[in-house]
Amino acid sequence: MRKYLYLIFLFFPLLSSAQSIDSAWIVNHYVKKELYVPMRDKAMLFTSVYMPKDSTEKTHPILILRTPYSCAPYGKEWIPFWKVYVKDYLKEGYIVVFQDVRGRYMSEGEFVNIRPFIPNKKTNKDVDEASDTYDTIDWLIKNIPGNNGKVGALGTSYGGFYTTMAGLSGHKALKAISPQAPVTDWFMGDDIHHNGAFMLMDMFGFFVRSGFGYPRPKPTSVDAPALTDGTDDAYGYYLTTGAFPNFTRIANDRGIAFWNDLVAHPNYDSWWVARNDRSYADRIPAGTASLVVGGLFDAEDCFGALNLYKAIETKAKNNNKLVFGPWRHGQWGSSMGYSLGNIQFGSNTSEWYVDNIELPFFNYYLKGIGSADSIAEATVFFTGENKWHKLKQWPPEDIKLTNLYLYKGGKLSFTQPQVSNNYEEYTSDPVKPVPYTDGIHKNRTAEYMDDDQRFTSTRTDVLTFETDTLTKDMTLAGPLSADLMVSLSTTDADFVVKLIDVFPDNFKYSDTDKYIMNGYQMLVRGDIIRGRYRNSFSKPEAFVPGKVTEVKYTLNDIAHTFKKGHRIMVQIQSSWFPIADRNPQQFIDIYHARDTDFIKSNIRVYMSAGAGSKIVLPVMQ
């Protein structure tokens, strides 16, 4: 059963759409073939092909999905298409192809995480995911009967990375790609790190506990063994396990070799640069259209979607589109697009996306149905007002970067402070880190991205600032920046900045609400930076204790309307546990820190005329 969960939730997280389709229809109209596709270096990649039975009578486009999560079930069983929205492509007569990538499950070869792209291949031994995709497309076009010579590629998360690699393959038959929540840069903002801070809970859970990084000496259809820890309290488990080397020991006991690669590259060096596929976006041919999809509340790869779109837009000459919706990781592929956690969106946003954006996109480029102009350059859902916007560019042209200043006493104002030497102070204690969410949870929640923040507002190690009640709507669209002036009693610290929408005391969606929304503090955007990387991600710098220092960084883009009657809140803290690992708050190698190395830091955030801390808002005019 776990194979189905991997396929549905990690590969292309797709649950049933509004209408179900009888499984008998698919079985009666399609045939499944399992085969091995040869690569240029003689490696054979396991591939499942679902073909219309009428393939000898008319031609069909090919939609390919490459995955490290297994294209199971193997043998005579079928993927339960009638439960997932890929059924729409079967109804449209597509040839749907799934493939285990090199070195995963039933495919031959060695698996490499985010295998670097080789721009100048000289021999058949120079293979990467782009060349594997090229060879696969070329073989399918020549050997699968009834295809129309046009290919599309689709994938979410890690699959989004493989979809980008498809675009870099340069095959002329590839007419359209849709990288969705694509992995692009595992140091800057996707999955493993956010601005240099290690995302401990997700990465230990993914590589070590779930067994993704578990060695696979030969092709297998069996999942790696999972690691259980016997507790539902993730906060307690990660805190008790202690310093980073304790997690490394567990990873080594499990044989997770990639964990040691991460430890060996704590800074943004050439090893990480080689794994940034955005650098090669100019190699996507003009004849390959792209539809980049991401979620406003994607805890894993919000960065990837936004920044891949921007890289393609800047470097490539193809037809490139963006969809940015109110979703957790992969939620656009589910039937549950009405809400996330306690926040309601007023409609089934995921169903609307599939029907109005994704399916028309592939149908146009692979079947010649519809118009390229039917899809806007950027289709973005603005939370707060709960409305889709069709925009000519992203970020929108009509935004004004507006400073929102922090004031002593917990106030926010659009007017710069005039008083000198003002600051607020808190003590960051890594022994008692600030939790990322309220309550006891075994696994990282998706809902924390728009969760109620009232549980942190009363903590003494979290600074909280608020505006007065807004007298008119304020819409933000684009990247959010934090510009803090701080001083530390130690040589390092992390900084977490959160932008929050405070609901009115009389707010409710309906009389049947299960959660009291009065005064709800909705997290709109939050992110972390490891302070040592404030000036350079490749050359970290210690803080000078007591010296006022600027910490400035950019958070992911937002699309949100703060409604009249609401208030804007900003919170600042120095831990976000256990989604981010703890900083010992000393300028030492965190990956080799000891349990005794963690110390308290007294942190001051300045808000005076000469050294004012502020948040820079992209206000839509």
Q: What is the mean pLDDT of residues 388-401?
A: 97
Residue 552 and residue 479: Cα distance in Å, rounded? Answer: 13
**Res. 6: pLDDT tops 80:** no
**Res. 491: pLDDT tops 70:** yes
Q: What is the mean pLDDT of residues 564-570?
A: 98
**Res. 513: pLDDT tops 90:** no
Q: What is the mean pLDDT of residues 381-410?
A: 97
> What domains can be seen in the chain, in order of their start residue?
2-185+275-391 (3.40.50.1820), 399-620 (2.60.120.260)
**Res. 16: pLDDT tops 60:** no
Beta bridge partners, 379, equal: 323, 390
Question: Which pLDDT score is estimated for 12?
Answer: 41
**Res. 145: pLDDT tops 60:** yes
**Res. 593: pLDDT tops 70:** yes
Q: What is the mean pLDDT of residues 225-233?
A: 87
- Average pLDDT of the chain, as a whole number: 93
Among 85-99, 259-273, 592-606, name the one with the lowest average pLDDT: 85-99
Distance of CA 171 to the CA centre of its chain: 27
Share of the chain above pLDDT 90, in %: 87
Q: What is the mean pLDDT of residues 383-405?
A: 97
Question: Identity (one letter) of the amino acid at 151?
Answer: V
Question: Which pLDDT score is estimated for 15?
Answer: 37
Residue 530 — φ and ψ, nearest 5°? -80, 120
Question: Which pLDDT score is estimated for 17?
Answer: 36
Q: What is the mean pLDDT of residues 535-541?
A: 98
CB contact at 8 A, 133 and 153:
yes
Question: Which pLDDT score is estimated for 55?
Answer: 62
**Res. 278: pLDDT tops 90:** yes
**Res. 203: pLDDT tops 70:** yes
Q: What is the mean pLDDT of residues 221-232?
A: 88
Residue 96 and residue 84: Cα distance in Å, rounded? Answer: 13
Burial class (CB in 10 A: 0-12, 13-18, 19+), 516: exposed
pLDDT bracket for residue 119 (50, 70, 90)? very high
pLDDT bracket for residue 3 (50, 70, 90)? very low
Q: Of 138 and 76, which is predicted with more confidence? A: 138
Alpha carbon distances (Å) from 303 to 75, 175, 532: 37, 25, 21
Alpha carbon distances (Å) from 12 to 180, 349, 368: 9, 17, 25
**Res. 509: pLDDT tops 90:** no
pLDDT bracket for residue 56 (50, 70, 90)? low
- Model's pTM, two decimal places? 0.95
Question: Identity (one letter) of the amino acid at 193?
Answer: H
CB contact at 8 A, 261 and 304:
no
Query: Nearest-CA neighbor of 449 among 519, 524, 502, 561?
Result: 524
Query: Nearest-CA neighbor of 291 among 442, 123, 175, 196?
Result: 175
Residue 358 per-residue DSSP state: I
pLDDT, tens digit (0-9, with 9 covering 90-100), for 518-530 = 999 999 999 999 9
**Res. 104: pLDDT tops 60:** yes
CB contact at 8 A, 120 and 92:
no
Question: Which pLDDT score is estimated for 22?
Answer: 60
* Residue corresponding to tokens 């995709």: 133
Residue 243 and residue 378: Cα distance in Å, rounded? Answer: 43
Among 368-372, 483-487, 513-517, 525-529, name the one with the lowest average pLDDT: 513-517
Distance of CA 592 to the CA centre of its chain: 28
pLDDT bracket for residue 54 (50, 70, 90)? confident
